[in-house]
Amino acid sequence: MNAEQSILVTGGAGFIGSHLTERLLAAGHSVTIIDDFSTGSADNLRAVQNHPRLRVIASMVSTCPNLNGLVDGADAVFHLAAAVGVELVVRSPIRTIKTNLSETEAILEAAGRRSVPVLLTSTSEVYGKSQKEEFTEDDDLLIGPPKLGRWSYACSKLMDEFLGLAYARERGVAVTIARIFNTVGPRQTGRYGMVLPRFIAAVRAGQALRVFGDGRQTRCFCFVGDTVEALLRLQACPAARGEVFNVGGVEEVSIRRLAELVLETLGGASPLEFVPYDEAYAPGFEDMRRRRPSIEKIFRFIGFRPAVPLTEIIQRTAAATPVSSH
């Protein structure tokens, strides 16, 4: 993506989408955003809101006027529009399923008219209840029962992947799928259960850091700038089309240790409060003890490895987070 292009970004007012938009504009591209602002925010675009090469359309993708024309006029599409956050998923399962399926179908149908390349963002949630030490893209997937709404998000995003690859095979759409693992950084909100901004806000407010479960579950966090770099490289790589890639960090940390690192970074004295999952989310909620991606495949295709270590991720996120953030 070196030469100037016209890029369509769905969900471009969201956390990752806004960072992606800034990178695209800085590289000289023209960007059109489609976002219904249900979880995204105009504040995320404040730094570029008056940019002459940015156009923002407030709409859902599936009901966007002239969607076909917008996609036809694009050199590439980044599809990030989706329901986000475990809390939102548990509280609003109908919205989660309908949003993830209908918006993806609409963008793929439009892209199929003239095979506009689509980078489709998926999620590590599709790995479900797998107990593997490290997840690879060809793993079998183990999803929980449908009576537990927590799995509706994983299933809807997995259907997005199936649909994307079906359009690739049947309609010739150049689809690349990125399974994103725990991306964090400036502008991420704790409103929908995201753990790092919640911890930062709690320390600043002198409140207890609410750690769900026993805190021994581990995750690998990736700085948003690294995630954006991976998405840009994947979209620019013809060999990546028709493939699925993990995008994430590999520095594993328990959620309890993450809370301690936030306290150490901000110099707070807040206590840790351990909250049962049933109380935090819903009865029968299941969480994964470990979620670590293999990034061998993405490194093989585009040479990507995350560059920002966890301690610096916390520092950068805290430095850019307003004191009133919650």
Query: 79: which 2 tokens?
Result: 């599809």
Q: Cα dist. 114→61, 69, 158 in Å?
A: 18, 11, 25
- Reported residue count of the chain is 326
What DSSP line would sit under 156-182, residue for residue? Answer: HHHHHHHHHHHHHHHH---EEEEEE--
Task: Please work out, in degrees rounded to the nearest 5, the angle formed at the alpha carbon of residue 237 by the alpha carbons of 27 and 241.
Answer: 130
Is-contact 152 126, C-beta < 8 A? Answer: no
Which of 153, 167, 192, 281 is catalytic? The answer is: 153
Distance between CA atoms of residues 222 and 211, nearest Å: 20
Q: What's at 326, amino acid-wise?
A: H
- Extended beta strands in the chain, E state: 6-10, 30-35, 54-58, 76-79, 118-123, 175-180, 183-184, 209-212, 218-220, 222-223, 244-247, 252-254, 272-275, 290-291
Per the annotation, the verdict on 153 as an active-site residue is yes
> Which DSSP helix (H) or strand (E) runs through 216?
none
**In 10 A of CB 259, how many CB atoms?**
26
Residues designated catalytic: 153
